[in-house]
Amino acid sequence: MAIFHDQLNRVISLPAIPKRIISIVPSQTELLFYLGLDTEVIGITKFCIHPKDKFQTVTKVGGTKQLNIELIKALKPDLIIANKEENERSQVEELMNICPVWVSDIHDLNSALDMIRTVGLLVNRETEANRLCVDITNRFNNLALPNTNLSVAYFIWRKPYMVAGTGTFIDNMLQKCGLTNIIDIDRYPEISSLEIIKINPDLILLSSEPYPFKQKHIDEFQLMLPKAKIMLVDGEIFSWYGSRLLYAPGYFKSIINELTLN
């Protein structure tokens, strides 16, 4: 019997190396496949779109917040990997009656790296997970970006407008870009058009997910804030905290280069 702790400091007991794993978090699903668990992952959500070939073939167990509990039970998993923010607490507690559930709680790069290492231990891929963490860490350490002194508002939703505030993984990634999050409110607050105009950020970032902002929305914001710089950005790079972190430093560098050149 192996004993682990998840990121809520819950004790997780595994009688053997997991062979039937369900992941209900897209970024952690991508991580599991990156670690080589092609046959062990037997269930994912409809939002676990990476890697694309696995998305097409692995059983879908619902959405991150609307899980098919009976289907999950029928799949007979021996480990479920969840997340405090992305999954509904009541559903995760139901899953705990089926098999061990390891829950992540990610709010910055360090907690993401801790998740990767621990998941590697859980699934007997410690070497691969540690190698991945070293690679991600090196890429972030080599990310030398100028301090732009730009204040930013990062939008994740429309109708109502919602932004990434403090205490979020996105906020930490904005800091890695050398940007200052102008939203000094915890988590993901709603914000009105009048409030946006009042706080007057230098930069507006419109995420590709969960709301798919498009070029027409740039025009919408430009009317509100004629002097602001407004960009569409890849939401997966800013908010996925698994193996996709490998691409984040290079992407952040391209954004800052574009901002400083214009």
pLDDT tens digits, 73-132: 999 999 999 999 999 999 999 999 999 999 999 999 999 999 999 999 999 999 999 999
Report the chain's C-alpha Rg in angstroms: 19
Residue where a domain terminates, one of 94, 120, 140: 140
Burial of 155 (0-12, 13-18, 19+ CB in 10 A): buried
In this structure, is residue 30 part of a structural domain? yes
Whether 135 is in a domain gets the answer yes
Does residue 56 sit in the same domain as residue 158? no
pLDDT of residue 208: 96
What is the arithmetic mean of pLDDT over 213-221?
Answer: 95
Per-residue pLDDT tens for 56-76?
Answer: 999 999 999 999 999 999 999
245 shares a domain with 223:
yes
pLDDT band at 1 (very low <50, low <70, confident <90, very high): confident
Return the number of other C-beta atoms located less than 10 Å from residue 182's C-beta. Answer: 20
User: At which of 83, 110, 140 does a domain end?
Assistant: 140
Does residue 166 sit in the same domain as residue 217? yes
Residue 119's φ and ψ, nearest 5 degrees, are: -60, -40
The token duo for 121 is: 């231990």
Is 23 contained in some domain? Answer: yes
29 and 87 share a domain? yes
Residues 116 and 195 in one domain: no
Q: State which residues form the domain around 10.
A: 2-140
Structural domain tally of the chain?
Answer: 2
Give a yes or no: residue 95 inside a domain: yes
Q: Which residues, 6+ apart, have CB-to-CB distance to 230 below 8 Å?
A: 203, 204, 206, 218, 221, 222
10 and 136 housed in the same domain: yes
How confident is the model over 150-163, as a mean pLDDT? 97
224 located within any domain:
yes
pLDDT of residue 262: 61
Q: 2: which strand partners?
A: 14
The 10 Å CB-count burial string (b at 16+, else e) for 28-58 is bbbbbbbbebeebbbbbbebbbbeeebbeeb
Same domain, 162 and 95: no
Give a yes or no: residue 146 inside a domain. no
Burial class (CB in 10 A: 0-12, 13-18, 19+), 106: buried
Asked, for residue 49, whether it belongs to a domain, the answer is: yes
Give the confidence band of 53 by pLDDT, cuts at 50, 70, 90.
very high
Q: Is the pLDDT of residue 145 over 90?
A: no
| Nearest alpha-carbon partner for 44 in 36, 54, 35 | 54
Across all residues in the chain, what is the average pLDDT?
96
159 and 130 together in one domain: no
- pTM for the model stands at 0.94
Q: Is residue 161 domain-shared with residue 133, that is, in the same domain?
A: no
For 12, the 3-state DSSP assignment is: strand
If asked whether residues 129 and 11 sit together in one domain, one would say: yes
Give yes or no: residues 88 and 190 share one domain.
no
Residue 173 belongs to a domain with what CATH number?
A: 3.40.50.1980
For residue 145, tell me if it sits in a domain: no
Instruction: Select from 165, 137, 169, 167 the least CA-distant residue to 235.
Output: 169
Residues 133 and 188 in one domain: no
Measured distance CA(93)–CA(205) in Å, rounded: 35
pLDDT in the model for residue 216: 94
